[in-house]
């Protein structure tokens, strides 16, 4: 039975992976919010991902065959108390330390890193973004994820890591948590739907279960002795804002409510005024307009060419 070390195992993604993969794998669940004992059929370890000595101890004790690295600091509010150094230590340095600890314990470990499509930034307009396109991150979060990717690729090029998958995730959603969809189509307190411009803008999204299925697919189809991949991980097809509103209106989770039209020029003006007031976040604030005004679609052919077929859609998740 393969041993899987899952970091961030109490989070939105990590917890679901641990639940779905148990009991066909031996799960070592690592998170600072875990209780340190064996529960739910898997080993639970309470710890901070930035604790390098603890990472070494865990890896040497359990010798994982696969590491699924979900832990990290996600996007914070615009007025964030977190510095770039904090993002770097958690999302970048800790990732590289974990990789070193895992490989030193098992030279054939399969390291799966959950990155983000935010590493591309929002400058790629009117085209599907491929894994080969230039990355232009504009947040501390995105910069730290990209730095972690670079560190892992260096390890692979130096023949330190032999099996590496970097998954750039589209905005993830599920019935239990759909903020990544809601902020494109719902107003304050979710009292009305907002249609920005025509509402025909398309975005790539990712059902949590599609992500879990793809990770399982990669674990079970990695017979190659040495590989390094970067995948855009998304649902099979992109979805327009109008389609999201339509699906939400017919679901019991986001019931029908009035649709308010918002001209895009209003969004443009609001972001420009906010950029003047918060100058040190101007690129981030201006990117909000890009996210609402333009298509943000990511090419998933590399993922599909592995033979993986995502089964879940926004409609199948919300309308049952």
CATH number of the domain residue 92 falls in: 3.40.50.720
Whether 7 contacts 14, CB under 8 Å: yes
Q: Calculate mean pLDDT across residues 116-127.
A: 81
Is 168 inside a domain boundary? yes
Summarised one tens digit per residue, pLDDT across range 250-262 is 998 888 889 999 9
Summarised one tens digit per residue, pLDDT across range 137-157 is 988 899 999 999 999 999 999
Output 74 or 273, whichever has higher pLDDT: 273
CA 320 to chain centre: 25
Is 305 inside a domain boundary? no
pLDDT number for residue 126: 64
Task: Evaluate if pTM is beyond 0.85.
Answer: yes
| Packed helices 282-293 and 264-277: angle between N→C axes, nearest 10 degrees | 170
Is 242 inside a domain boundary? no
Summarised one tens digit per residue, pLDDT across range 207-229 is 999 999 999 999 998 878 899 99
| Packed helices 94-105 and 140-157: angle between N→C axes, nearest 10 degrees | 30
Q: What is the DSSP string of 199-259?
A: S--EE--EEHHHHHHHHHHHHHT--SSSEEEEEEE--SS-EEHHHHHHHHHTSSSS----E
Three-state SS for 89? helix
Is 118 inside a domain boundary? yes
Give CA–CA dist 34/243, Å, rounded.
Answer: 38
Is 279 inside a domain boundary? no
pLDDT number for residue 173: 97
What range defines the domain where residue 141 resides? 3-173+205-233
Structural domains in the chain (count) = 1
Is 79 inside a domain boundary? yes
Give CA–CA dist 184/198, Å, rounded.
Answer: 13
Is 166 inside a domain boundary? yes
Summarised one tens digit per residue, pLDDT across range 164-212 is 999 999 999 999 999 999 999 999 888 999 999 999 999 999 999 999 9
Is 52 inside a domain boundary? yes
């Amino acid at each position: 039975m393969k041993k899987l070390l899952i970091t961030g195992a109490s989070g939105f993604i990590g917890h679901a992976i641990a639940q779905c993969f148990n009991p066909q794998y031996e799960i070592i669940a690592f998170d600072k919010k875990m209780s340190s004992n064996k529960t739910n059929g898997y080993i639970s370890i309470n710890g901070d991902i930035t604790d390098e000595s603890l990472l070494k101890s865990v890896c040497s004790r359990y010798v994982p065959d696969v590491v699924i690295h979900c832990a990290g600091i996600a996007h914070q509010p615009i007025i964030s108390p977190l510095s770039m150094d904090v993002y770097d230590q958690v999302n970048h340095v800790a990732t590289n330390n974990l990789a070193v600890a895992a490989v030193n314990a098992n030279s054939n470990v399969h390291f799966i890193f959950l990155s983000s499509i935010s590493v591309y930034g929002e400058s790629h307009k009117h085209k599907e973004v491929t894994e080969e396109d230039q990355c232009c991150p504009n947040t501390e979060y995105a910069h730290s994820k990209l730095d972690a990717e670079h560190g892992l690729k260096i390890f692979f090029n130096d023949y330190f890591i032999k099996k590496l998958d970097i998954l750039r995730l589209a905005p993830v959603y599920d019935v239990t948590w759909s903020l990544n969809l809601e902020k494109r189509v719902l107003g304050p307190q979710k009292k009305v739907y907002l249609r920005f411009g025509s509402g025909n803008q398309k975005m790539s999204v990712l059902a949590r279960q599609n992500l879990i299925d793809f990770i399982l697919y990669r674990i079970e189809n990695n017979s190659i002795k040495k590989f390094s991949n970067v995948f855009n991980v998304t649902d099979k097809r992109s979805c327009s804002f109008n389609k999201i509103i339509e699906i939400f209106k017919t679901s019991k989770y986001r019931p029908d409510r009035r649709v308010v039209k918002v001209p895009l020029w209003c969004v443009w003006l609001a972001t420009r005024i906010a950029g003047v007031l918060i100058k040190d976040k101007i690129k981030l604030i201006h990117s909000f307009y890009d996210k609402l005004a333009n298509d943000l679609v990511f090419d998933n052919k590399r993922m599909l060419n592995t033979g993986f077929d995502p089964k879940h859609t926004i409609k199948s998740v919300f309308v049952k």
